[in-house]
Amino acid sequence: MKILLISPTVDKVKRTNKGLMIPQLALYILKGLTPHEHQVKIIEEETEEIDLDEEADLIGISCMTANAPRSYQLCHEFRSRGRKVILGGVHPTILPDEALQHADCVVKGEAEGVWKELLLDFQNNRLKKIYHNPDPDLNEYVPKDFSGIIRRRLFNLIPIMTTRGCPYKCDFCCVTDLFGRKIRHMPIKNVVRDIVESKGKNFMFLDDNIIGHPKYAKELFKAIKPLNIHWVGQASISLVKDTEMLDLAADSGCKALFFGLESVSVDQIKTMRKTIKEIDNLEKALKTIKKRGILIHASMIFGFDNDTCKVFDETVSFLKKNNIGTASFNVLTPYPGTRTYEDLKNKNRLLTSDWKYYDHNTVVYQPTHMSPAELQKGKLNARQKFYRPSSVLKRLFGNLSNPAVYLAMNYGHMKQVKVEKKRLSLLQDTFFNQCKNN
């Protein structure tokens, strides 16, 4: 049979800058899990159009919160044409009952352990409403056709995942709802096999914290060092507390790391589950990492209850002072399933239940010390100041270990600032005015 696997965009008329797109992996794992007698086609709507009339026996759609409305729209279109539709991903995992209003079936959590069963049930006309394996076996190697991933993005970044699960339960994060709090590992030999068979040189480890299990991380870095690759990933700033692991990461080809700093507000840092709670120590940690030639990408979040309008300039000043290579500026997003969502909902502070606005970039709740529009504009202004040409040039001298990557990433963000400015104008004319009237 023919299976169509789809990753929808949030808005079918808008696309993300290719240089800023995070590589997909979930649908390629599904394809690898599918028995060879079936034909599988993957469509990422960010890079290609969806033909609603394309012949297919089964449609699988991977759904996050922001693209849930678009996913549900596609479900309706395909089901009206007589197709069976499966929904999976983080949003259907957290809200399966909602997802089942639009699809024939929902896969909760990870696909390993349920996908082959689902396909057999479909072929025998006994498809269940929900499939879920809370602890799938990750030891079996899943082949992946990375060729489709490479041609869709700049930098030829190939996605690799080595671990699942996160021991932390941050109020605003829903990762543990998808993968659980227990850290589980892919066999290192399988990770090496993925890298070798991809024939690539540039990789992105999608782990939420690649150093979450130090012993495994060190063995992994030793195993990939002989492969002479370049890689980027996400880690906890606590990496600096283990010099051996930091050196192994750098020696294995680490060129950039994503750190969820979230906030540089002293009051806010004290309330968070962070291993480094002093600004001075945080600055020392960042310098230690940069000395290994590792570019730092800082993820910042605005809109915590402690934040005032001062937080925007304070954040930009901190990032520029420490010559941070790149940064993402997000607004606090109360994703369903998180404590933040439940708290804001119970206090009647949510402005909308339209999931398309739950995207890291749009204020969907009433902040404590500013208006929604002030938070939205402040976030944009911070990003604009950080990515001014003068700021980019000044920070370059603190990031000369990877000048090409540094300039390419900063250029991509500079272009995206212009897109965000246009979007803010639309939000002010529509979304925020509607919130005021309501």
Confidence of residue 276 (pLDDT cuts 50, 70, 90): very low
DSSP run (H or E) holding 190? helix 188-198
Q: Give the closest residue to 381 by CA, choosing from 331, 430, 346, 342.
A: 331
Instruction: Identify the CA nearest to 208 among candidates 180, 227, 228.
Output: 180
User: Are 2-132 and 147-434 in the same CATH fold?
Assistant: no
> If you average pLDDT over every residue of the chain, what do you get?
89
In degrees, rounded to 5, the angle at the alpha carbon of residue 359 between the alpha carbons of residues 207 and 65 is 75
Confidence of residue 146 (pLDDT cuts 50, 70, 90): confident
At residue 89, φ and ψ (nearest 5 deg) are: 110, -175
Q: Is 340 exposed, middle or buried (0-12, 13-18, 19+ CB in 10 A)?
A: buried
Domain boundaries, the chain: 2-132, 147-434
pLDDT, tens only, 101-138: 999 999 999 999 899 999 999 999 999 999 999 888 89
CATH number, domain 2-132:
3.40.50
| Top-confidence range, 256-265, 360-369, 424-433 | 360-369
Q: Kindly indicate the confidence band of residue 262, based on its pLDDT and cuts at 50, 70 and 90.
A: confident
- Inter-axis angle of helices 26-33 and 115-123, nearest 10: 60
pLDDT higher than threshold 50 for residue 409: yes
Name the range with the highest mean pLDDT among 23-32, 162-171, 179-188: 23-32
Can you give the pLDDT at residue 272? 47
pLDDT digits (tens, 9 = 90+) for 30-86: 999 999 999 999 998 988 899 999 999 999 999 999 999 999 999 999 999 999 999
Is residue 271 pLDDT above 90, yes or no? no
Domain spanning 147-434: which superfamily? Answer: tm_1862 like domain (3.80.30.20)
pLDDT higher at 408 or 270: 408
Please report the pLDDT score of residue 58 as a whole number: 98
Query: Using alpha carbons only, how large is the chain's radius of gyration in Å?
Result: 22
pLDDT higher than 70, residue 269: no
Q: What is the pLDDT of residue 17?
A: 57
What are the start-end ranges of the E strands in 157-282? 158-160, 163-164, 184-185, 202-205, 230-234, 254-262
pLDDT band at 416 (very low <50, low <70, confident <90, very high): confident
Range of lowest pLDDT (116-130, 161-175, 281-295): 161-175
Using a cut of 0.85, tell me whether the model's pTM lies above it: yes
Q: What average pLDDT does the segment 322-335 reach?
A: 95
Q: How confident is the model over 315-323, as a mean pLDDT? A: 95
Q: Which residue has the higher pLDDT, 90 or 268?
A: 90
Q: Give the pLDDT mean for 18-22.
A: 59
Q: Return the pLDDT at 408.
A: 87
Q: Has residue 277 got a pLDDT over 50?
A: no
From 276, 278, 223, select the one nearest 248 (Cα to Cα).
223
pLDDT at position 388 is 96
At position 346, the amino acid (one-letter code) is N
- The mean pLDDT value for 14-28 works out to 70
Report the alpha-carbon distance of residue 117 to residue 339 in Å, rounded: 33
DSSP state of 2: E
Distances in whole angstroms, Cα of residue 184 to Cα of each of 63, 207, 210, 356: 23, 11, 11, 31
